[in-house]
Structure 1
Amino acid sequence: MSNQILHTFTFKGTTSSVIIGSELPEITQLCSGFALSQCLLICDANTENIVHSIPGSDRVRRCVIASGERAKNWQSVEQIIATAVQAGIGRDGLFIGVGGGVVTDLAAFTAAIYMRGIAVRLVSTTILGMVDASVGGKTGFDFLGIKNLVGAFHPAEEVYMPLSVLSSLPATEWKSGYAEIIKTAILADPEMLFILESHPINFNKIEELNKALSESWFSDMIHRCVAAKGKIVESDPEERGTERALLNLGHTYGHALEAVAGLGTVTHGEAVAWGIGRACELGRKLGITPEDRSNRICSLLEQYGYCTSPAYPIAGFNAEALIQAMYSDKKKKDGQLRFIIPTEESAIIHTLTSHEINLVISSL
């Protein structure tokens, strides 16, 4: 893997190395320290061609699951386990997830429960995966229509981020991933906000996407996001305190939107972007988010083509259904809704009182 830059973090006593470079790693690098017969490559229908491009990948057993958010389920976990058993993978084995957030979440979760836990390494192939899903040890799958309801903390030993694979991403994946970059900038990196404002991208123009991939500011943003998330997670690896919870900016609204729309109907990033806009509006009503800060954030979201209007343009959208979905979300505490609200410099956690629920409804 060429042009490597390394970030190293410690989560739950596990050292996790993030290797950012231009090209895919070879299978000997991915499986270093493990017998090839004890390694299992896990990908989906969209990333199987990327696995074929990994030098030496034909020497390792693979499991190809279905693609998309609807495949993030127990059936996919069973498929991975069955393949591992058939391949004779033991407790000294290694799972290698190659793909976006769905694949890496499933690969890491299954590694956490297979034979009470084996090692996992990841090759992240989407922007969303690189800046969010693959770093920090959160794993899991969707259940009963609720996103990531079942999961575990199981950090990857190594996470590879080959930037060259992003050239094949569709516009929807770029847009989904950029929402998490914007979220990180709001929370932890004011300078990155200026970068985002200075280098707008039209996700529907392939020439602009390819140009961004060749620019140093783009790879710099990936590094900044990885560093920021790693630092936050190191301080609060299992979200027991407040630091890691801040990473849920936009997610209380966003996860509810995904649930109401039907998981996979609205991309995670677009739902989060809409949720950030709604959190700004709620924060303004609560007197927490300054109006100029709210305006700046919403203008940036609109600059990248995200919806910031109260009513998201999907069938069946209504405030009552969203509130109900929020109460099913795992981010509530003691039965009360918790929102991450932008402040002048970052964000805070705000637990809503009963009379403040009307403010949430009025923000929709």
Structure 2
Amino acid sequence: MPKFTYNFNFGGQNSAVFIQDSLPGIEDLQNSGIHAPEDKSRRILLVCDANTQPIARKIQESSETLIPVCVLQSGETHKNWASAEAIIKAAREAGLGRDGLFVGIGGGVISDLTAFAASVYMRGAKLSLVSTTLLGMADAALGGKAGFDYLGIKNLVGTFYPASRVFMPLCSLETLPQREWKSGMAELIKTAILSDADFLNQIKTLKQGRENLDACIAKAVEFKGRIVEQDPKETGKMRALLNLGHTFGHALESAAGLGKISHGEAVAWGIARSCELGMELNITPQKRAAEIIALLNDFGYETRAPHPLNIPAEEMLKAMSSDKKKQNRTLAFIVPAPQGAEIAQIPDGSPLPKKIINRESQ
């Protein structure tokens, strides 16, 4: 029985989210309204990596018939076309038609790759996700962003393709490595900054224990879901706000070498830089910036500038030049406002981003 259930509509695509203690079974996946009762597991492909293969096996064992599984290599360095191609090839070999169901089991990398493969397979197959990491639950599994890294650039290739069902089994977090936990916490903190003081206070309690974790995940899901409903393909300003910390963060990830820094670690560093940029632009009050950076420090994130990896600012600026948020020779930075956040448009050639990247933190 789910602890929290949400139903969203993303541009005409219904997406149901179930936050529950246990893993979903094959019946949960089949009874999604996608398949008629007589359709069986031959129409399903499970996609996982080496880390989530045991979870995929448990889901597989809940079926009376053998379900094909596509096992990918783990990590950001394998978020590429070769992995997407492997999923498509496995689907073809398994005999999936356009009404077949792709099920991604894992964190953000698996969610993005599986969703992309489903979106292009026969011009669009069915998709469900089983999110097994805090990063996936807090952000990646919801809202339909799909794709992979290409030419060393984060998420250069992608589509929008929301899953019809997203399962978030809390039991999968019990064995989550500390680095993955920390990566997901950054997205929870980001959402709380965008939301309100009550959510931020809830996040602070997670330093003492995880009793409120399910409620924090639920709050993040509801907040993001309502935002994406208003702007499903990021054509307006609403969904763009969810990119707080991501312009600096993605640049750090790309310049460092994809996979060297976790997404959450990069986003946390990016949020700190966004606070400094916001103060420079007189958007972010100094007190609010100090509170946000202090919270990031409390959770053990690197917030100093320049970044200790000593990545040249020019390399980060080069990565920013390929950022998908760049339009009309301006780059969008999301910066904290007195409440929530605002979009700051910085023109090409402005010295500000380099100044923020290089300026020594106080």
Band of TM-score, shorter chain: over 0.9
- In the aligned structure 2, how far is the partner of 1:252 from the partner of 1:274? 11
- Per-residue CA deviation, residues 140-183 of structure 1 (Å, 9 max, x unaligned), is 01000111111111110000000011011000001000000000
Query: What is the number of residues matched between the two proteins?
Result: 349
Match in the other structure for 1:20? 19
Match in the other structure for 2:223? 228
Instruction: Check if 1:171 corresponds to 2:178.
Output: yes
| TM-aligned CA deviation for residue 61 of structure 1 | 0.9
* Counterpart selection for 2:313 from 319, 344, 349: 319
Question: Residue 263 of structure 1: SS of its match in structure 2?
Answer: coil
- In the aligned structure 2, how far is the partner of 1:252 from the partner of 1:41? 32
- In the aligned structure 2, how far is the partner of 1:304 from the partner of 1:240? 33
- In the aligned structure 2, how far is the partner of 1:165 from the partner of 1:189? 28
- In the aligned structure 2, how far is the partner of 1:158 from the partner of 1:116? 19
Contact 1:279 1:341 in 2 (8 A): yes
- In the aligned structure 2, how far is the partner of 1:144 from the partner of 1:150? 10
Match in the other structure for 1:56? 62
| TM-aligned CA deviation for residue 67 of structure 1 | 0.7
Question: Residue 67 of structure 1: SS of its match in structure 2?
Answer: coil
**TM-score normalized with structure 2 length:** 0.94
| TM-aligned CA deviation for residue 325 of structure 1 | 1.1
* Counterpart selection for 1:336 from 324, 327, 330: 330
RMSD across aligned C-alpha pairs, in angstroms? Answer: 1.3
Percent identity (aligned):
50
Contact 1:3 1:22 in 2 (8 A): yes
Correspondence list, 1:275-290, <5 A? 275-290=270-285
Contact 2:206 2:213 in 1 (8 A): no
Paired amino acid for 1:236: D
Question: Residue 78 of structure 1: SS of its match in structure 2?
Answer: helix
Instruction: Check if 1:162 corresponds to 2:169.
Output: yes
* Residues 354 and 62 of structure 1: CA distance in aligned 2, closer, same or farther (over 3 Å): closer
- Per-residue CA deviation, residues 199-257 of structure 1 (Å, 9 max, x unaligned), is 415xxxxxxxxx51xx1x11110000000000000000000000000000000000000
Provide structure 1 residue ranges, at least 5 long, that are not aligned to the other structure: 202-210
**TM-score normalized with structure 1 length:** 0.93
- In the aligned structure 1, how far is the partner of 2:45 from the partner of 2:268? 35
Match in the other structure for 1:115? 122
Contact 1:273 1:307 in 2 (8 A): yes
Paired amino acid for 1:244: R
| TM-aligned CA deviation for residue 354 of structure 1 | 5.2
Contact 2:106 2:133 in 1 (8 A): yes
After the TM superposition, which of the residue ranges 57-66 and 105-114 deviates more from structure 2?
A: 57-66
Paired amino acid for 2:321: Y
Match in the other structure for 2:135? 128
After the TM superposition, which of the residue ranges 271-280 and 57-66 deviates more from structure 2?
A: 57-66
| TM-aligned CA deviation for residue 190 of structure 1 | 2.0
